[in-house]
Structure 1
Amino acid sequence: MEHSKKLAVLIDADNVRPTLCEALVQEVAKYGAASVKRAYGDWTTPQLSSWKPLLHEYAISPMQQFSYTSGKNSTDSSMIIDAMDLLYTEKFDGFCLVTSDSDFTRLATRIRESGLVVYGFGEKKTPGSLQAACDKFVFLEALAASSDEASSTGDAKGPAKEKKSKKQLNQDAKLISLLRGAVEACADDDGWANIAAVGGHIANQSSFDSRNYGYRKLSTLIETTELFDIEKRNKRGSNAHDLYIRDKRFSAS
């Protein structure tokens, strides 16, 4: 089970807002147990002062890295070295890299080459190369929106704000190609595909997360596009049901 994974959580504190810490910790818990939690930066500087109370609250170890030369990010090097040391211990099932810096792209790729899963967390400005290098990438803005919504509604599972509209989703050629390709790959002879299988297929080839588009569930995002037929099928001997989808182009052919 995914929740049994032992994870190493490495945070680039120089590039992550401390206000996101609670939402980040809650999100990481969905994927496994954070056996190691470390935050990297120069803790002697006032810029990181707001992080300090959270280090104690969430049992995050501060990793001190002085900036030896102006303009050079020593934090990145320290975080990469630590990640490789942890990787070689062979005690972990995966890593959570919390950063928007493209310098970590090769690190994510190297960890995955060793057969471990990599979850990435960063802002929307994160280069596509780093997003693609992770098994799953979550925008921190999506976590912030979910956290704000939860605060106002009392629902910790509230949806992210600013959902993409039908028009915005359908104008995203990469997204639509990804969805249609996954449905086609999982479809039966009649074009119908179980949405769970579709989600699994997408996860195997992309760092896709529906919350990055403002939707908690993949099914809701797909329904919003209005490009797919949707059918509920009762499970045999149960009141529960499975959701199946089909590309509308298939039914029209």
Structure 2
Amino acid sequence: MAEDRSDRLAVLIDADNTQPSIIEGLLAEIAKFGTSNVKRIYGDWTSTALKGWKEVLLEYSIQPIQQFGYTKGKNSTDSAMIIDAMDLLYTGRFNGFCIVSSDSDFTKLAVRIREAGLTVYGFGEQKTPGPFVSACDKFIYTEVLRAKTNENEPIKRRSAADLKQDTRLVRLLRNAVEASSDEAGWAHLAATGSNIAKQSPEFDPRNYGYGKLGELIAATKLFEVDERIGGDGQSKSIYLRDRRKRS
């Protein structure tokens, strides 16, 4: 019988472009997608610049990969990560990769992995270039992960007025609801979320201060929200409709 690879993930971290303060939130987030069978972090460990990382590697069982900087001003870490990623890809043991970096150099790697039919989860700061973000199936900004720690304040919830002024967000939500709706204009929340993920890999309600998609959508006050009880009398489903569709 073939081995089930449905939750096998390879986690590759660029230490030069990632802060150790995200590690707890990062691994908790990755656990939502599957099991981290490989956890590797790349950098020049002879450098004092990575001292903060050295203190957490043993605690979280992350394997450090030494990569000397051969030329001043050049980042050789990227090349080492890309080579390792391709070696892991060819083993056929994984169905997903987590690439942790804010560097656009990993754009082609993400594209190549997806071409092989595997899922790519990207993690990086909000300064991450758009091409790398778009190349991933799902991209999560690490500011959200740092907000979970004691050293950072939670991301402030944006008000309805602020959300309505975000034209890109409003357009994204309305397009997703419309694409997922029935003839009466009602769309299931789960189907709406799936549609949003296809349009915008970096979308995350936590970026706006909300823990769940339903909370964010309700906060915009642009949609009717209908909670329906299933035939078993216990299960609940949430449906959405653009208020402009109300007859």
User: Do both share a fold (TM > 0.5)?
Assistant: yes
TM-score, normalised to structure 2's length? 0.93
Q: Per-residue displacement from partner, 1:112-142 (whole Å, max 9, x unpaired)? A: 1111101111111111211111111111110
Counterpart CA distance in 2 for 1:148 and 1:213 is 19
Counterpart CA distance in 2 for 1:204 and 1:6 is 22
In structure 1, stretches of 5+ residues that fail to align are 153-159
Counterpart CA distance in 1 for 2:157 and 2:128 is 20
Say yes or no: does 1:94 pair with 2:96.
Answer: yes
Counterpart CA distance in 2 for 1:146 and 1:198 is 26
Pick from 130, 133, 148 the counterpart of residue 132 of structure 2. 130
User: How many residue pairs get matched?
Assistant: 242
Amino acid in structure 1 at the alignment position of 2:89: L
Query: Identity of aligned pairs, percent?
Result: 56
Q: Per-residue displacement from partner, 1:193-229 (whole Å, max 9, x unpaired)? A: 1101111222233212211222110001101111111
In structure 2, stretches of 5+ residues that fail to align are none
Moved more, 235-244 or 162-171: 162-171
Counterpart CA distance in 1 for 2:150 and 2:78 is 30
Amino acid in structure 1 at the alignment position of 2:158: K
Amino acid in structure 1 at the alignment position of 2:173: L
Counterpart CA distance in 1 for 2:241 and 2:162 is 21
Corresponding residue for 2:213?
218
Corresponding residue for 2:234?
239
Tell whether the 8 Å contact from 2:10 to 2:37 is kept in structure 1 after alignment: yes
Deviating runs (4+, > 3 A) in structure 1? none
Instruction: Report the alpha carbon displacement of residue 4 of structure 1 after superposing the two structures with TM.
Output: 4.5
Corresponding residue for 2:164?
170
Give the secondary structure class of the aligned counterpart of 1:216. coil
Counterpart CA distance in 2 for 1:104 and 1:214 is 28
Amino acid in structure 1 at the alignment position of 2:193: G
Counterpart CA distance in 1 for 2:222 and 2:138 is 25
Counterpart CA distance in 2 for 1:171 and 1:105 is 31
CA RMSD in angstroms comes to 1.8
Give the secondary structure class of the aligned counterpart of 1:97. strand
Corresponding residue for 1:54?
56
Instruction: Report the alpha carbon displacement of residue 54 of structure 1 after superposing the two structures with TM.
Output: 1.2
Give the secondary structure class of the aligned counterpart of 1:141. helix
Counterpart CA distance in 2 for 1:148 and 1:194 is 36
Q: Per-residue displacement from partner, 1:10-53 (whole Å, max 9, x unpaired)? A: 00011111111111111111110001000000000001112112
Give the secondary structure class of the aligned counterpart of 1:146. coil
Counterpart CA distance in 2 for 1:230 and 1:118 is 32
Tell whether the 8 Å contact from 1:65 to 1:75 is kept in structure 2 after alignment: yes
